[in-house]
Homo-oligomer: A and B are copies of this chain.
Amino acid sequence: MTTIREIAQLCGVSVATVSRVFNQPLTVSREKREVVERVARELDYRPNESARALATKRSGLIGLVWDTDHRRPGWRHPYLQELLIGLKSALSAHGYHLLMLATSGSAALRAVGASLADPVAYVNMTRRHHLGGLVLIDSGSDAPAFTAFAQSGLPCVAVDVAVDGPRATYVTSDNAQGAQQAVRHLVAAGHRRIATITGPRQNLPAVDRLTGFRAAMAEAGLPVPDEYVVEGDFYRPSGQAAMRSLIALPEPPTAVFCAGDEMAVGALLAARHAGLRVPEEVAVVGFDDIELAALVDPPLTTLAQDKAGIGVAAARAVLTMVHGGATPAPAFLPTRLVVRSSSR
Contacts and interface: CB of A to CB of B under 8 A. Distances in A.
A106 B103 CA distance: 27
A43 interface: no
Interface in A290-334: 291-292, 295-297
A111 interface: yes
A107 B296 CA distance: 38
A106 B89 contact: yes
Nearest to A45: B113
A341 interface: no
Interface of A: 1, 41, 44, 46-51, 53-54, 59, 61, 64, 68, 76-77, 80-81, 84-85, 88-89, 91-103, 106-109, 111-113, 120, 124-125, 127-130, 265, 291-292, 295-297
A106 B98 CA distance: 13
A100 B96 CA distance: 10
Nearest to A61: B99
B44 A124 contact: yes
15 contacts: A46-B124, A48-B54, A49-B128, A50-B130, A51-B54, A64-B100, A77-B81, A80-B81, A80-B84, A88-B102, A95-B108, A97-B99, A100-B100, A292-B292, A295-B295
A54 B3 CA distance: 13
A334 B192 CA distance: 53
Nearest to A272: B297
A98 B102 CA distance: 8
A112 B94 CA distance: 10
Contacts of A94: 108
B102 A92 contact: yes
Nearest to A85: B68
A73 B53 CA distance: 34
Given A96-B102, A100-B97, A295-B295, A50 B46 contact: no
B91 A95 contact: no
B61 A50 contact: no
A98 B66 CA distance: 12
A15 to B, nearest CB: 16
B99 A100 contact: yes
B127 A111 contact: no
Nearest to A54: B50
A170 to B, nearest CB: 21
Nearest first, the 5 closest Cβ-Cβ pairs linking A and B are: A92-B102, A92-B106, A50-B53, A92-B108, A98-B100
